[in-house]
């Protein structure tokens, strides 16, 4: 199983914390996006940002409800516990493309589909 690098984990943790702040109403989206750009460590502070997923990740995708808040909190727990990025259904690594869009995803796309179809 390919593990995420500490740098990647750090980035995801930052995303999740920003999401959480937005979800709980601590900051508004514009502020969060600005914070997200500023907050990436070890990045050359060039204007425009070289952070490859700041463009892909959109806070617009966030649903402001309690279950999303819970999932974000659980994702932060998984970062602490070292299981972040692994699918809860089959244990394989969730595709990075998916994690970039949905950092709080619990399942890989395949298992997510099964769950939606009621097969799990
Ligand atoms: Zn899976």
Instruction: Determine the distance separating the centroid of ligand 1 and the alpha carbon of 104, expressed in angstroms.
Output: 14
Measured in Å, residue 75 CA sits from the centre of ligand 1 at: 16
CB 13, CB 21: distance < 8 Å: no
CB-based contact 21:32 (threshold 8 Å): yes
What's phi and psi for 88, nearest 5 deg? -75, -25
Q: From the CA of 96, how far away is ligand 1's center (Å)?
A: 13
Q: Where are the alpha helices (DSSP H) in 24-65?
A: 29-38
Query: Side-chain half-sphere of 97: how many Cα atoms within 13 Å?
Result: 1
* Better pLDDT: 120 or 86: 86
Q: How far is the CA of 106 from the centre of ligand 1 (A)?
A: 9
Q: What is the pLDDT of residues 13-66, one digit of tens each?
A: 999 999 999 888 877 766 777 766 554 444 444 444 444 444 445 566 666 778
From the CA of 114, how far away is ligand 1's center (Å)?
A: 9
Distance, CA 23 to ligand 1 centroid (Å)?
26
For the chain, the farthest-separated pair of C-alpha atoms sits apart, in whole angstroms, at 47
Which of 64, 60, 68, 38 lies closest to 51 in space, CA to CA? Answer: 38
In the reported structure, the alpha carbon of residue 46 is separated from the centroid of ligand 1 by a whole-number distance in angstroms of 38
Select from 21, 64, 24 the least CA-distant residue to 39: 21
Residue 73: pLDDT band (50, 70, 90) is very high
Mean pLDDT across the chain: 80
Given this model, what pLDDT does residue 94 score?
95
CB-CB contact of 40 with 11 (8 Å) = yes
CATH architecture of 6-116: Up-down Bundle (1.20)
Verdict on whether the full-model pTM lies above 0.85: no
Handedness of CA 91, 97, 100, 105 (dihedral sign): negative
Instruction: Kindly give the distance from the C-alpha atom of residue 94 to the centroid of ligand 1, in angstroms, as a whole number.
Output: 7
């Amino acid at each position: 199983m390919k593990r995420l690098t500490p740098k990647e984990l750090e980035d995801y943790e930052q995303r999740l914390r920003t999401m959480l702040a937005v979800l709980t109403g601590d900051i508004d989206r514009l502020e969060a996006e600005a914070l997200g750009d500023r907050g990436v460590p070890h990045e050359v502070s060039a204007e425009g940002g070289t952070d490859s997923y700041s463009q892909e990740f959109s806070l617009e995708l966030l649903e402001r409800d309690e279950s999303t808040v819970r999932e974000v909190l659980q994702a932060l727990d998984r970062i602490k516990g070292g299981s972040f990025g692994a699918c809860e259904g089959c244990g394989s690594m969730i595709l990075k493309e998916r994690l970039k869009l949905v950092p709080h995803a619990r399942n890989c796309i395949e298992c997510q589909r099964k769950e939606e179809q009621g097969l799990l």
